[in-house]
Amino acid sequence: MRQSTYTFYYIERCEMCGDSTAAHHVLGNRLNQTQGISPKSKTGISVTVVKCDNCKLIYSQPLPIPQTIQDHYNTPPESYWGEDYFNVDENYFSNEINIVRDLLSFTPGMISLDIGAGLGKCMLAMEKVGFNSYGIEPSILFYNRAISKMGISKEKLQMGMVENVTYPENKFDFITYGAVFEHLYHPAESLEKSLAWLRPGGIIHIEVPSSKYFIARLINFYYKICRTTYVSNLSPMHTPFHLYEFDLKSFEKLGEKLNYKIQKYEYHVCEISFIPKILKPLFHYFMKVTNTGMQLTVYLKK
């Protein structure tokens, strides 16, 4: 991947709750690379990581925006996962689908949209259970692989970003942002746009990194006692290019403005890194009971 050229955008109001960023507190700095155990020994560009005191959103200030989205996401899927990644597990996205079918009182033929469709696996899983499935994918290479290797129809998959594609109002019964929302430059604006595409009573599913993640707090504490200003939150200029971390309050506050309700939410521990294997069960239990796992999932009803 070639080096990106960035425009640095200063955020004046919290992207979720709208609070002035002038009073938000600084957590530390984040390099444009993996920091490891000794970030002081590395050189590079860093941005300031800030936390909103009102809704607990974590973001970078300024926000680095690449010259083109392909600078970040134009890597062949095979380079990430290999050829096995093109196989679709029969249980792929099944837990989320079961939850959404209950929330929707599902009937066959309901229309779904996958924002950030990747190879189209989620689209295929939803088609399998009776959804009429559409998708949006910003990466040229993933878009091409979805069509050429996964059999996704060009009529069902648009290439582009949610900010620059259009659909009729009230078209979809279900919209999913699976591992996408944290990559959007202006997440609240994108959600408002997609809510217009959703019929009244429809559901939007969003998976995001949690700003309460316990392991991130531990690493930040380690960096602090090492007398550095670095933190582990976000990765705005390197893989996986996370721009934001969210709290449930982030979605509650935004719901007051966009007129949606949180129908269901879940915290997931996910893979535990940097911890000795013998201690992982204890950490897993602690994060599960305290809702301090890596991922937050919300189901929003229009």
Q: What is the CATH number of the domain that holds 186?
A: 3.40.50.150
User: Are both 61 and 79 inside the same structural domain?
Assistant: no
User: Are both 196 and 218 inside the same structural domain?
Assistant: no
User: Are both 163 and 124 inside the same structural domain?
Assistant: yes
Structural domains in the chain (count): 2
| Within-domain flag for 252 | no
| Within-domain flag for 90 | yes
pLDDT at 1: 43
| Within-domain flag for 254 | no
With 90 as the cut, is the pLDDT of residue 84 above it?
no
| Within-domain flag for 87 | yes
User: Average pLDDT over the chain, rounded to whole?
Assistant: 93
Phi, psi of 257 (to 5 degrees): -90, -40
User: Are both 80 and 65 inside the same structural domain?
Assistant: no
| Within-domain flag for 250 | no
Tell me the pLDDT tens digit for each residue of 185-226: 999 999 999 999 999 999 999 999 999 999 999 999 999 999
pLDDT at 273: 83
pLDDT at 110: 98
User: Are both 180 and 134 inside the same structural domain?
Assistant: yes
Contact 206, 177 (CB under 8 A): yes
User: Are both 184 and 291 inside the same structural domain?
Assistant: yes
The residue segments making up the domain with residue 238 are 6-70+211-245
User: Are both 118 and 30 inside the same structural domain?
Assistant: no
Please return the burial class of 212, using the count of CB atoms within 10 Å of its CB with bins 0-12, 13-18 and 19+. buried
Among 202, 220, 245, where does a domain finish?
245
User: Are both 124 and 180 inside the same structural domain?
Assistant: yes
Tell me the pLDDT tens digit for each residue of 137-170: 998 989 999 999 999 999 999 999 999 999 999 9
pTM metric for this prediction: 0.94
Determine the length of the chain: 302
User: Are both 113 and 186 inside the same structural domain?
Assistant: yes
Residue 89 pLDDT level (bands cut at 50, 70, 90) = confident
- Of 206, 196, 188, 137, the C-alpha closest to 172 is 196
Residue 69 pLDDT level (bands cut at 50, 70, 90) = confident
With 60 as the cut, is the pLDDT of residue 128 above it?
yes
User: Are both 184 and 81 inside the same structural domain?
Assistant: yes
User: Are both 30 and 166 inside the same structural domain?
Assistant: no
User: Are both 292 and 144 inside the same structural domain?
Assistant: yes
